[in-house]
Amino acid sequence: MEYQYLMLIISILVAALVVAVLVKSVKVIRQQQVAVVERLGKFRRTLDSGPHLLVPWIDRVRYMIDLREAVVPFPPQGVITEDNLMVNIDSVIYYQVVDPVRAAYEAQNYIQAIEQLTMTTLRNIIGGLDLEQTLTSREEINQKLRAVLDEATGKWGIKVNRVELRSIEPPATIRDAMEKGARAERDKRAAILIAEGQRQSQILSASGEKESAILRAQGDRESTVLRAQADRQAAMLRAEGDAQAIHTTFSAIHASRPTQGLLAYQYLQMLPKLATGDANKMWIIPSELNDALKGLGTMLGGGQGGAGPVAEPEALAAEFEAPQKVDVIAEIEAQKRAEEAESQRSVQQAIAEAAAIEGRRAAAVGTDKQPALGAAQEPQDEAEPQRAVEGDPEPA
């Protein structure tokens, strides 16, 4: 019985030993990992992903290396620039192990080695730049830092893929000064833009006022010319009417062949009108009254020295020839039509000139060369009214 118990205990111990040997012999490596195996303290081989058999208590997995790309953020580092200003730089490094054996044996702690190398490289790079260059040359700093780290970590079996500066913080006083400078620069640009807008507005307003003054002057000139022409035509028509009336009266008088007695009779009829009026206190008889009375006596009864009997009215009427009538109304209507046509032509010419000026101004505004165009346009604008004056008819 004791023998059976002893054999059972031995079998259990052998089974446990076999299980322990199997556990020590079989090693499963995960994906994207590499195991560095040492045999009796010396590098033996590397194990890739998957199951592997090891010699128990002789082979040992010394390092487990991750082949995936890793991200290492470093705390902010104080760096002095070329102009003696302290800035804090926070950096991030993206690296990947490409040679597990070198990563395990060439550097004791490659993460710490990369951090220290990054600090010293940043001091060297930033020390040759001033603050403004440091703030505006991040890409250049990243490239230089990556080149130095890649060269230094190559013998460690590490590949530095990217280096990024997350933040560059200058001192608080420098930040305040930079904010004030940026605010002043923005205020300056705003003031320049406002002044430029006001300048363009004043230029456009002055150009519009100039064109409107030119058009008003042209309109006043046209209206003055038209009024002068109308006054001249009215004066001509009045003069022609007066001349026609005088001619008609003179012709009628000569055609009727008045005698001395008729003239004396008309003279006597005019005498009472000379005495009319409240201011007349005296009635002065002209010296020609005796001659008029003699003529009247001769006309009525004849006498010594008379001219003979007065001719009959029918005979006088037969000898009278009336002058040709002049249609003054028709002439006035024709003159009005001619004046309306001339006024319409002047209005169309003024509209065409205004449209041409507006087109030139729109072209000048579209090309954004208003000052130069205003200077070049001045002689041409001054010449426009002169051409209009030369093309218009002479005023009366």
* Range 150-174 average pLDDT: 85
Distant-in-sequence, close-in-space partners of 50: CB < 8 Å, separation ≥ 6: 28, 29
Q: How far apart are CA 145 and CA 151, in angstroms?
A: 10
88, 154: one domain: yes
74, 158: one domain: yes
Quick check: 313 pLDDT over 50? no
Residue 327 domain flag: no
Residue 344 domain flag: no
Residue 230 domain flag: no
Q: How far apart are CA 287 and CA 47, in angstroms?
A: 164
pLDDT tens-digit series, residues 215-266: 888 888 888 888 888 888 788 888 877 877 777 777 777 776 666 666 666 6
Strand pairing partners for 169? 88
92, 150: one domain: yes
- From the list 345, 385, 333, 342, the residue with the least C-alpha distance to 228 is 342
Q: Which of 107, 136, 170 is the last residue of a domain?
A: 170
Residue 386 domain flag: no
The total domain count for the chain is 2
* Range 15-41 average pLDDT: 85
86, 163: one domain: yes
Question: Between 274 and 309, whose confidence is greater?
Answer: 274
153, 91: one domain: yes
* Range 174-181 average pLDDT: 82
Angle between helices 289-301 and 260-275 (to 10 degrees): 130
| Lowest-pLDDT choice from 83-97, 164-178, 369-383 | 369-383
83, 139: one domain: yes
Token couple for 68: 């995936």
User: Residue 222's Cα: distance from chain center in Å?
Assistant: 36
30, 113: one domain: no
Residue 30 domain flag: yes
CB-CB contact of 79 with 87 (8 Å)? yes
78, 140: one domain: yes
Split at pLDDT 50, 70, 90, the class of 167 is: confident
Q: Which structural domain range is residue 86 located in?
A: 70-170
Predicted TM-score (pTM) above 0.85: no
Residue 238 domain flag: no
91, 36: one domain: no
CB-CB contact of 282 with 275 (8 Å)? no
CB-CB contact of 226 with 234 (8 Å)? no
Instruction: Give the 3-state DSSP-derived string for 108-126, with helices as H, strands as E and coil as C.
Output: CCHHHHHHHHHHHHHHHHH
pLDDT tens-digit series, residues 346-380: 778 878 887 887 777 777 766 654 444 444 444 44
64, 78: one domain: no
Residue 99 domain flag: yes
100, 42: one domain: no
Report pLDDT for 309: 46
What are the C-alpha distances in Å from 216 to residues 147, 244, 353, 396? 76, 41, 12, 21
Quick check: 129 pLDDT over 60? yes
Quick check: 28 pLDDT over 80? yes
Quick check: 311 pLDDT over 60? no
Quick check: 194 pLDDT over 90? yes
pLDDT tens-digit series, residues 89-98: 888 889 999 9
The fraction of the chain above a pLDDT of 70, given in percent, is: 72
Q: What is the CATH number of the domain that holds 155?
A: 3.30.479.30
343-352: Cβ within 8 A, 24+ apart:
343/222, 343/226, 346/222, 346/225, 346/226, 346/392, 347/222, 349/388, 349/391, 350/215, 350/218, 350/219, 350/222
64, 74: one domain: no
Q: Which of 137, 170, 203 is the last residue of a domain?
A: 170
Residue 77 domain flag: yes
Give the type of residue at 23: V
Report pLDDT for 192: 93
Token couple for 157: 């079996």
